[in-house]
């Protein structure tokens, strides 16, 4: 029995979710996003689950930091591993060549550096066009110049074209349609190279964006950013759990936790949970944020502290010390908890700390 707080991860759920990606984008290659330590699920485990089998579920994975790529390469010695937007200099290019990393190039200066570099092996380059997200990526003129620099460069083995959408979660977005058109037409004018546009939201909501490569992220881990899929299309991969440490019977008018933020209005039964913000549960979770106990919902009642939280179980008389409590997972999505807390599942997944036990099936 796990004593306090732990996270369970389901390989079956992960494979179920990527099968949904394949069903939605049957013609595209899949580049799985495992940045942020696999969205908090463990990049090595996610990659091994999806790639290291007789028939891989995807054709490559991607991370956002060089040290992520270095660590992952130790466990995933061959196969496509893309390093997303990063600061490009000569040492990084040499590392990419030695580790056989694909590299995203998002500005003309980086393309110029590659064209003049002497590297131990040529690189696969993904040129990024800024279609309206306005974070990373080149405008049309710089993209064309970068393409011309690298198209016949001996330091480049192949070129891909890519972009990223700003509001693909809106199925009716005219902006997304315009952004698809910008990369599609620009790529075509340069000779039709493999393209990648679709993140999770676009995979679901914009089939005409799928092109040659799709880049699923949050949907791999069980969250539908569009709200358009059937309830069974995705399954939660992560189940964040804790236990009841104690139960107190309180009279009306008593306060609970620091600053007595929550106060009883009637006689109440308050359970103390073995989870706090040092485990990654959000300190700013407001009163009323739900958890699951014995298949029933119970609300947070009082401020989340470093190691403990409190919930109102007055309506669950059978609740007892030692009972398992689901903070998010099956029956209570991280997305719903995130809505209560003013954040999103991505942040909740990635903030769980090292002291929480991890159980992989």
Q: Residue 39 in contact with residue 349, Cβ under 8 Å?
A: yes
DSSP 21: H
Cα separation, 32 vs 46, in Å, equals: 9
What stretch of H or E contains 184?
Answer: helix 174-189
CA angle, corner 32, sides to 182 and 117, nearest 5?
Answer: 70
| Packing angle of the helix pair 174-189, 140-150 (nearest 10 deg) | 30
Selected catalytic residue, list 35, 128, 195, 241: 35
Q: Residue 289 in contact with residue 299, Cβ under 8 Å?
A: yes
CA angle, corner 104, sides to 158 and 129, nearest 5?
Answer: 95
Cα separation, 161 vs 266, in Å, equals: 62
Cα separation, 281 vs 268, in Å, equals: 24
As to burial, measured by CB atoms within 10 angstroms (0-12 exposed, 13-18 middle, 19+ buried), residue 334 is buried
Does the annotation mark 281 as catalytic? no
Could you give the 3-state DSSP secondary structure of residue 267? coil
Selected catalytic residue, list 116, 258, 277, 296: 258
CB atoms within 10 A of CB 233: 17
Nearest of 265, 195, 240, 260 to residue 331 by alpha carbon: 240
Nearest of 335, 357, 331 to residue 344 by alpha carbon: 335
Does the annotation mark 35 as catalytic? yes
User: Helix (H) and strand (E) counts for the chain?
Assistant: 11, 18
Enzyme catalytic residues: 35, 258
């Amino acid at each position: 029995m796990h004593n306090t707080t732990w996270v369970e991860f389901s390989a079956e759920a992960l494979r179920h979710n990527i099968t949904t990606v394949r069903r939605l984008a049957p013609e595209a290659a899949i580049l799985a996003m495992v940045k942020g330590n696999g969205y908090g699920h463990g990049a090595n485990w996610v990659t091994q689950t999806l790639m290291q089998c007789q028939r891989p579920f995807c054709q490559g994975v991607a991370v956002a930091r060089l040290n992520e790529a270095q660590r992952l390469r130790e466990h995933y010695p061959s196969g496509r591993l893309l390093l997303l937007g990063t600061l490009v200099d000569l040492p990084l290019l040499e590392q990419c060549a030695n580790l056989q990393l694909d590299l995203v190039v998002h500005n003309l200066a980086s393309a110029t550096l590659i064209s003049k570099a002497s590297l131990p092996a040529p690189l696969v380059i993904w040129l990024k066009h800024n279609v309206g997200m306005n974070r990373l990526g080149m405008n049309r003129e710089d993209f064309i110049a970068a393409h011309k620099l690298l198209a016949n460069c001996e330091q480049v083995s192949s070129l891909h074209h890519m972009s990223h959408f700003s509001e693909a979660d809106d199925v009716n977005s005219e902006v997304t349609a315009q952004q698809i058109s910008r990369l599609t037409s620009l790529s075509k004018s340069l000779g039709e190279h493999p393209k990648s546009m679709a993140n999770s939201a676009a995979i679901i909501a914009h089939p005409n964006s799928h092109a040659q490569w799709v880049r699923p992220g949050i949907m791999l881990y069980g969250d539908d950013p569009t709200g358009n899929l059937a309830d069974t299309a995705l399954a939660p991969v992560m189940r964040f759990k804790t236990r009841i440490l104690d139960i107190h019977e309180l009279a009306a008018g008593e306060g609970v936790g620091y600053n007595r933020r929550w106060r009883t209005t009637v006689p109440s039964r308050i359970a103390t949970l073995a989870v706090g913000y040092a485990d990654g549960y959000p300190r700013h979770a407001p009163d009323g944020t739900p958890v699951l106990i014995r298949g029933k919902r119970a609300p947070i009642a009082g401020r989340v502290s470093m190691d403990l939280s409190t919930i109102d179980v007055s309506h669950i008389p059978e609740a007892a010390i030692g009972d398992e409590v689901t903070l998010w997972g099956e029956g209570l999505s991280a997305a719903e908890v995130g809505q209560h807390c003013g954040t999103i599942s991505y942040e909740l997944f990635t903030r769980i700390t090292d002291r929480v036990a991890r159980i992989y099936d």
